[in-house]
Chains A and B, each alone.
Chain A
């Protein structure tokens, strides 16, 4: 049993982490909220010291009524949705494949996981230049080899290109988690099903997939949170052009490039709300796990 003494010691030990995170959360969040109700254009002479004009919900309405808002929501949904579909479907297949007996399993695992450790700016630039370059990229060579005209990937198929790059980065994560989950599946159950004459597809649909459902949910939720805020991949490839301006990128441009802090902050508040909706579901699952 914990004594009174150890309780207060425990509180002391927790304090630095709690205080730091509380500050990290509250200070910038309060500032963002504050700015979102103000007209704040630093390049036109607005400054904190000089006082900012209160504009009520103007920034909020202007952010959602601006012509770039809905396209950015659409871009965000397509990229997040596209990457989720690709990584989860391929992740399940890969996890099943890697779970089979084979020679050199460890090495194959390493090969599959490697992209996750490549920093986003590197994967963005390597794909953009060495694969998707319409003249010298490998895809161009491949297309020419089959007699097709090379594509200008990042302008003609910008969404698919971004989805490809980001999926390549996140596939290892999905695969690794799903593989961990598959390995916890009782193999006797599968053997019994096989002996009873269940074909592979039925075994997959009735045993493997239900067993994986929790892991898949976790993959989807965690990836969604990270994918909602992808930045560097777009920054170094299209810089938001060709319809790839996501909500995150739009806010970044409003805040730092055009320095409309009020408007960008209102956008930031929307992004925070959006992320929180996803986060609530994730927290429920993680929270349940804590009780177990």
Chain B
């Protein structure tokens, strides 16, 4: 039996939790609010919270001056492309490790994880040099490849932990009924694996969208995604609070919404299955 909770205690919990939650969320809320102010209102003393003249002007200015749509498109291509490519490569690998495990499976999984722990800065120049040699510097395809590689271990791991949960008996039954490897994958496994694959894609979209080491170091004017777009507001535009806020809001809004759908997968994906 669950303990009966007095409604007084529940009220206290609610008040404290909402207070803390709003405090943590406040910087985001403040950014969104400021994006609807004029520059003068944004630096008004005392600060204005809700009672100001709401305007959409900043959004159009940001789009005009720094071509938000182009950066957005780059982000979509880079995050989406690297995730899809990574998933295509990872699904067969994770499938075989989950359903045809060998003595070395565990070692291979751990080794894959270890590549994720390679500090990026340690291989910055080699990648930079290779990018110049191959003509990949400041191209979207270059970043798609790099982000695919850095997220591949996480994709394999997540898929592996999901596939592991599919009961092996079902596969045996399918094999008994004469299903070949191809049929097994297409008709038995895929329907059961879709939720896991969807979660994996979701989390990796978020990770790739927010990646800010390679995207800052390997792009310039052409292929820069939103992370680079915002970095360009570093100075002196950063002093224009309303425009910085509008740009920031536009950069985080798409992923904030996706992110809220993927809370559960976040734990699993980022702990490599160690916490479920």
Contacts and interface: CB of A to CB of B under 8 A. Distances in A.
B274 A286 contact: yes
B27 interface: yes
A97 B13 contact: yes
B28 A115 contact: yes
Contacts of B149: 20-21, 24
A13 interface: yes
B124 A256 contact: yes
Contacts of B248: 122, 125-126
Interface string B240-263: 010011001001100110111001
B271 A177 contact: yes
A69 interface: no
Interface string A115-130: 1111111110111111
Given A24-B115, A102-B13, A236-B234, A176 B267 contact: yes
Contacts of B50: none
A113 B258 CA distance: 12
Most buried by A among B119, B127, B212, B256: B119
Interface in A226-276: 228-229, 231-232, 235-236, 248, 251-252, 255-256, 261, 264-265, 268-269, 271-272, 274-276
B245 A130 contact: yes
Given A113-B259, A136-B241, A248 B227 contact: no
B124 A14 contact: no
Interface in A119-145: 119-123, 125-131, 133, 136, 138, 141, 145
Interface residues on A, range: 35 or more
A97 B16 contact: yes
Given A94-B20, A118-B256, A177-B267, A191 B274 contact: no
B221 interface: no
B223 interface: no
A232 B42 CA distance: 25
A130 B30 contact: yes
B275 A269 contact: no
B227 A104 contact: no
Contacts of B2: 187
A180 B110 CA distance: 23
A9 B99 CA distance: 12
A218 interface: yes
B106 A231 contact: no
A201 interface: no
Contacts of A282: 117
Interface residues of B, number: 99
A61 to B, nearest CB: 18
A24 B126 CA distance: 11
Given A111-B24, A222-B271, A228 B119 contact: yes
B14 A138 contact: no
B89 A290 contact: no
A97 B28 CA distance: 22
B61 interface: no
A127 B27 contact: yes
Given A28-B126, A229-B119, A232-B216, A126 B89 contact: no
Contacts of A43: none
A109 B263 CA distance: 9
Contact of B122 (A16, A48, A271): A271
Given A6-B181, A108-B17, A136-B45, 18 more contacts: A14-B96, A17-B112, A32-B123, A104-B18, A108-B21, A116-B266, A117-B206, A120-B210, A130-B31, A172-B24, A177-B270, A218-B274, A228-B119, A229-B120, A229-B121, A232-B212, A274-B119, A276-B117
27 contacts: A10-B96, A24-B149, A25-B118, A28-B123, A28-B130, A29-B126, A32-B123, A100-B17, A108-B20, A111-B24, A114-B28, A119-B227, A120-B210, A123-B27, A125-B230, A125-B238, A126-B245, A130-B244, A131-B27, A136-B42, A231-B120, A255-B121, A255-B124, A271-B121, A271-B122, A279-B117, A289-B274
